Amino acid sequence: MRKLITALLTVVLFIWSCEPNENVPQTVEFNPTLKDKLTRVDPSSVENRNGRTAGIEQWIASVNETIASQGLAIQKMEFLGAEQAGNTVFFANTGNKQLSSDFVPNDPRNGTGIDVPYVIDGTELGTSSGMSEFETYSATVAAMETWGNVTCSSGLEIPNLGVASFDIGYVQYLLGFGGIAGYFPGTVVHGGILPGAFFDAVSPGGASSILGVTFTFVWLDDLDADGKSDVAIKEIYINDVFNWQDAPDDVLGNGIYDLETVILHEAGHALSQAHFGKAFASGNGKLHFAPAALMNAGYSVARRNISGTDNAGHCSNWSNWPNN
Ligand SMILES: [Zn+2]
């Protein structure tokens, strides 16, 4: 008997010791089933893109008129600034007109139960600054795992649904920059690393000032009647214009931006956190924030951990989940 147990243990240990190298992928692997999770939209039913002449508020207002038939509205976009403070733009015509929004556990319109899953666009990975597709994919997964590992929100699971082999992103589609006529309900969509033109389109001068943006779609009906809009979709886009690097020790002023930090910031918005902290210019003309935090509206240094006000903000949103 003892020999048998020893033999079994040896086999188990052997398999275990072999596992890391064989199971940790070193390339991006697509999930072929993601198309099944997409809620498709008849392209002829939505006004999209081409020939925008109005400002972004009017543009999104007209988009919202066409997606109202799906029960959806784009509620807001939150920008992270490179050398200046970013901001938050709210759009009119979002149902109950509440400026705040949050996920509703077991929302049947989302069909994601008490999870907040995420997907990654596999067609818009990699940066012009030289980060490989696998590096930007890994930064995205690492950022989501960082939020998933915050201890106060033990009831919140943030599963990775995988990488799409097709160009995903409903905002992208609606604004005429690729994407797809469809969306992943209840899901955080990492919609891609996009050219500066997309950021110029969503904000004047955006290509040179916005590092990343998170769009919030809400359902027009406040199902849980808590006075807050119910989140339907979150979509994150990163601006390819900047010098992105895998730079965990990055500090302000060298022209480099740590990609994982910015994805972590945008994912904070996806998990319902707003901007935090007061912006001020110091003697050297650089922008600073007090208190310094990941959720400041501007980039200052690489931050890959959740602490202080970022942790407090997250816990206030999620510590009771899914019992809120
Ligand atoms: Zn932000």
Q: How far is the CA of 237 from the centre of ligand 1 (A)?
A: 11
- The answer to which of 170-179, 257-266, 281-290 has the lowest mean pLDDT is 281-290
Q: Which of the pair, 58 or 264, is modelled with greater confidence?
A: 264
Q: How far is the CA of 138 from the centre of ligand 1 (A)?
A: 21
Q: How far is the CA of 215 from the centre of ligand 1 (A)?
A: 10
**pLDDT of 281:** 79
Q: How far is the CA of 61 from the centre of ligand 1 (A)?
A: 22
Q: How far is the CA of 269 from the centre of ligand 1 (A)?
A: 7
Q: How far is the CA of 48 from the centre of ligand 1 (A)?
A: 25
CB burial string 242-264: b at 16+ within 10 A, e below: bebbbbeebebeeebbbbbbbbb
pLDDT band at residue 18 under the 50/70/90 scheme: very low
**Given a cut of 50, is residue 180 above it in pLDDT?**
yes
Q: Which of the pair, 261 or 284, is modelled with greater confidence?
A: 261
| Any domain includes 218 | yes
Q: How far is the CA of 221 from the centre of ligand 1 (A)?
A: 26
Q: How far is the CA of 11 from the centre of ligand 1 (A)?
A: 49
Nearest to 111 by CA among 41, 165, 184, 170: 184
**pLDDT of 198:** 94
| Any domain includes 20 | no
**pLDDT of 97:** 57
Average pLDDT estimate for 183-196: 98
Q: How far is the CA of 130 from the centre of ligand 1 (A)?
A: 24
Nearest to 210 by CA among 218, 222, 202: 202
- The answer to which of 22-26, 58-62, 212-216 has the lowest mean pLDDT is 22-26
**Given a cut of 80, is residue 313 above it in pLDDT?**
yes
pLDDT band at residue 273 under the 50/70/90 scheme: very high
Relative to beta strand 88-90, strand 72-81 is: antiparallel
Mean pLDDT of the chain: 89
Contacts of 228 by beta carbon, 8 Å cutoff, 6+ apart: 98, 100, 101, 102, 222
pLDDT tens per residue, range 200-252: 999 999 999 999 999 999 999 999 888 899 999 999 999 999 999 999 998 87
- The answer to which of 127-131, 165-169, 254-258, 281-285 has the lowest mean pLDDT is 281-285
Q: How far is the CA of 13 from the centre of ligand 1 (A)?
A: 45
Share of the chain above pLDDT 70, in %: 87
Q: How far is the CA of 31 from the centre of ligand 1 (A)?
A: 29
**pLDDT of 276:** 92
Residue 181 lies in domain = 28-318
| Any domain includes 214 | yes
Average pLDDT estimate for 85-112: 84
**Given a cut of 60, is residue 112 above it in pLDDT?**
yes
Q: How far is the CA of 235 from the centre of ligand 1 (A)?
A: 13
**pLDDT of 94:** 60
CB of 214 within 8 A of CB of 199? no
| Any domain includes 212 | yes
**pLDDT of 169:** 97
Q: How far is the CA of 74 from the centre of ligand 1 (A)?
A: 16
**pLDDT of 55:** 80
Q: How far is the CA of 265 from the centre of ligand 1 (A)?
A: 6
Relative to beta strand 210-219, strand 187-194 is: unpaired
CB of 176 within 8 A of CB of 48? yes
Q: How far is the CA of 167 from the centre of ligand 1 (A)?
A: 24
CB of 78 within 8 A of CB of 86? yes
Q: How far is the CA of 292 from the centre of ligand 1 (A)?
A: 13
| Any domain includes 13 | no
Average pLDDT estimate for 114-125: 98
**Given a cut of 80, is residue 65 above it in pLDDT?**
yes
Q: How far is the CA of 35 from the centre of ligand 1 (A)?
A: 29
Q: How far is the CA of 80 from the centre of ligand 1 (A)?
A: 4
**pLDDT of 57:** 86
Q: Which of the pair, 90 or 269, is modelled with greater confidence?
A: 269
**Given a cut of 80, is residue 23 above it in pLDDT?**
no
- What are the Cα distances from residue 164, in Å, to 147, 167, 188, 232? 22, 7, 13, 19
pLDDT band at residue 98 under the 50/70/90 scheme: low
Q: Which amino acid appears at position 291 of this protein?
A: P
Q: How far is the CA of 122 from the centre of ligand 1 (A)?
A: 23
**pLDDT of 99:** 72
| Any domain includes 323 | no
| Any domain includes 11 | no
pLDDT band at residue 79 under the 50/70/90 scheme: very high
Q: How far is the CA of 88 from the centre of ligand 1 (A)?
A: 8
* Structural domains of the chain, count: 1
| Any domain includes 14 | no
Q: Which of the pair, 18 or 246, is modelled with greater confidence?
A: 246
Q: How far is the CA of 262 from the centre of ligand 1 (A)?
A: 9
The CATH number of residue 281's host domain is: 3.40.390.10
Q: How far is the CA of 209 from the centre of ligand 1 (A)?
A: 13
* Greatest distance between any 2 Cα atoms in the chain: 80
Average pLDDT estimate for 268-284: 89
Q: How far is the CA of 214 from the centre of ligand 1 (A)?
A: 7
**Given a cut of 80, is residue 110 above it in pLDDT?**
yes
